[in-house]
Amino acid sequence: MAEALNSINASIAAAAEKESRQNTILNYLPALLPMIGAAIITTMRIKLGAASVPADGAFIVLAVLFYMISASSLLTNFWAPIKFLQRFGLWTLSLAFFFNLSGWLVRWVESGDREGWKRMVSPITGEHHFWWFFSYVPFANLYDLSLAFAFGAGFATLLISHRENSRFIGAVSTPLISLILLLAIFIGSDFITLPPVLDSYWRPIHVGVASLSYGVALVSFAMAVMYLIKDGVKMEAMALIVAGFAVLSHVFVWLMSGIKALDPFTLSYRLNPGVAHANGFSNSGARLALPGVGPLATLSLVLFLGAAICFALYLYKEMSAAQNYGHWLLRASIVTQIATIGMIFYQIKAMGLVGSLVGNDQAYQVGKHLMGKEAAGRSVEEIVSIGANWLANNRDSLILSVKANPVEIAALISMLVVTCFIALFSFRTEKIRASLPPLERIDSLIYKLVGVAFAGLAILLVTGAIWANESWGRYWGWDAKETGALVAWLAYGGYLHSRISHGWAGRRSVYFALVGFLLVIFTYLGVSYILPGLHSYAG
C-alpha cells in the first residue's frame, strides 16, 4: 500500500514538474517570439529585397506606438487591476520589441546594401574577411545605438515579466524606452561612413555590449523607482528631486540658446541648409529663437518650482494646504509644458525659410561650427570671416529642423513625462503600493539586474580598451566617454560592494542604482552633444 502511495505521489510530482517547465517556457514566449519574427523579417529583406518589408524608420515609429500603448495598459492596471490589461500590456510590449528589433536588423541589411557588401573582401589581400557580415552592424552613430539601447531594455523587461508579479516593471520602463526611441527619431536615421581606423570587428562587440548593458541599467533604474514608491517615499519628495533636474535642463537649454538671448529659456535651433548632402542635412551652427516658446517654457518652469516649494512646505512644515496647492500647480505645469512642445513643432513648420532672420552676429558661431577642431588656435576675426562668407552664400536656404537639437527636445519631453508620472502616482498612491510585490522581491530583482549591468559595463571597458589600442595605439586616454563609462561602472561596483561586504540593502542600495543609471545616460548623451572627445563621431 505504501509503495503504491509513493508511486502515485511520485507521478503527481513528476506531472507537476513537467507542467511547471511547460508554463515556464510559455511565460518566456513574449520575449522569444519577437526574436523569431524579427529573424523572419530580416530573411525576407535579404532574399526578397527592400520592397518586401517596410523601411527601418516605419518599424521604429510602430515600436514607439506600441511601447506607449503597453505603458498605458500597465499603468491603468495599477488603479483598475484587470488580468486582461496586464496581459494586453505584456503582449503589446512584445510587439513593440518585435518592431524595435526588426527595424534595427533591417537597418543592418540596408547598411550592407548601401555599400554593396564590399567589405566582405579585403582591399589589400583580396581575401574574404571572416567577420565581414558583422562589419555592417549598425553601430556607427547615436541613432543606431539608441535603437539597440531600446530593444535591450525591452528584452530585459520581457524577461523579468515572465512572472505575473513582476509585470509591473513595464509601467515605468516602457515610457523610458519610448523616450529613447523618440530621441533617435529626432536625431535622424542618416547613415554615416566611419573612418577606416574605426572599422574593426571590435566595434560591434564593444557597442553591442554597451547597448545591452545600458538597457539592463534602464530596467534596474525603473525597478529602483518602484522600490522607493513601495517603501513609502512620498511623491512630493520625488517632485523636489525632479525640480532640481528641471532647473538643470532649462539652464542647459538656456546655455545652448546663448546667454545673450532676451528670454532666458527661449529655445533656439541650429539651422540646416536647404540642400541635402549624402548624409542628410548638415547643421550650420547658427541659432534662432522661436517666437512664443520662451515665455511658455519659463512659465512651465515657474509653475513646477512653485509646486516644489509647496511640496517642501508640506514635507517639512506639515502644511496640508500647501500639498493641495502644489498638486494644482503641478497640473498647470503639465498644461504649459504641452503647450511649449506644441509651440516648438508649430513654429518649426510655420516659419519656413528663415535666413532673413539670421543676423551677422551669428557669424562666429557658424564659422566655429564649420571649422570644428580646426577652430582651435585660429583668430576670432578669421572664424568670423569664414562664418560670414558661408552665411552670405547660404542664407537663402536656411530652414529650421526638428533634428537640429534632438537632446533639447528630448529633455523637454522627458520633463513632461516625469511630471505626468508624479501627478499619476500621486493619485491613490496606497493602491499602487498594495499592488506591488514585497520589497524583498523588488530588492532581489534590482540586485540581479545591477549584477548584469556591472558585468556588461566591465566587458564594455575591456573591449573598448582593446579596440582603442587597435585604432588609436593606446588602451586608455581618459577620453570623456571612457571616463564616463568608468565612473558608471564604479557606481554599480559601489552598489555591489556595499551590499556584499557591508550588508547594505533597501533604500541605501537603491540610491546607487539610481545614480548609476544617471551616469550611464550622461555617458550615452553627454559625449556626443556636450563634451568633445574621440567618441564624438557617434553624434
What sign for the dihedral angle of Cα 130, 132, 137, 140? Answer: positive
Domain carrying residue 165: 2-267+405-538
How high is the pLDDT of residue 428?
A: 86
Helix 170-187 × helix 142-160 angle, to 10°: 170
Domain assignment of residue 356, yes or no: no
Got the DSSP string for 437-466?
PPHHHHHHHHHHHHHHHHHHHHHHHHHHHH
User: For residue 70, which of 152, 140, 137, 168 has the smallest C-alpha distance?
Assistant: 168
Torsion of CA 10, 13, 14, 16, to 10 degrees: 160
Task: Quote the radius of gyration of the chain (alpha carbons, Å).
Answer: 25
Strands 398-400 and 268-273: antiparallel
**What is the predicted pLDDT for the residue at 275?**
45
Alpha-carbon span 286 to 269, nearest angstrom: 8
d(CA 75, CA 78): 6
251 domain residue, yes or no: yes
- Alpha-carbon 84 to chain mean position: 29
pLDDT, mean of each 10-residue run, the chain (539 residues): 52 44 69 92 90 90 95 89 87 95 92 73 52 70 88 92 83 92 84 70 81 91 91 87 74 58 64 53 76 87 90 88 91 94 90 83 82 76 87 84 79 87 88 88 90 92 84 75 84 88 81 87 71 54
Ramachandran assignment for 276, one of left (phi > 0), alpha (psi -120 to 50 degrees), beta (any other): beta
DSSP label at 194? P
- Does residue 122 form part of some domain? yes
Is residue 298 a part of any domain in this protein? no
Cell of 106: 533591417
Contact between 459 and 208 under an 8 Å Cβ cutoff? The reply is: no
Residue 117 lies in a domain: yes
pLDDT confidence of residue 196? 67
Residue 238: inside a domain:
yes
- Asked if 265 contacts 301 with a C-beta cutoff of 8 angstroms, the reply is yes
Amino acid in position 469: N
Burial of 90 (0-12, 13-18, 19+ CB in 10 A): buried
Helices (H) and strands (E) in the chain, counts: 18, 3
The number of residues making up the chain comes to: 539
Residue 450 within a domain:
yes
Q: What's the rounded Cα separation, in Å, for the pair 286 and 528?
A: 18
Amino acid at 364: Y
What is the 8-class DSSP label of residue 283?
Answer: P
At residue 272, what are phi and psi to the nearest 5 degrees? -100, 135
Give the C-alpha separation, 354 to 273, whole Å. 10
pLDDT in tens, 214-229: 999 999 999 999 999 9
Please check whether residue 374 lies inside any domain of the structure. Answer: no
Say which residue the cell 505645469 belongs to: 333
Convert 428-449 to b/e letters by CB count within 10 Å (16 or more is b): ebeebeeebbeeeebbebbbeb
User: Residue 380 class from Cβ within 10 Å (0-12 exposed, 13-18 middle, 19+ buried)?
Assistant: exposed
Number of domains in the chain: 1
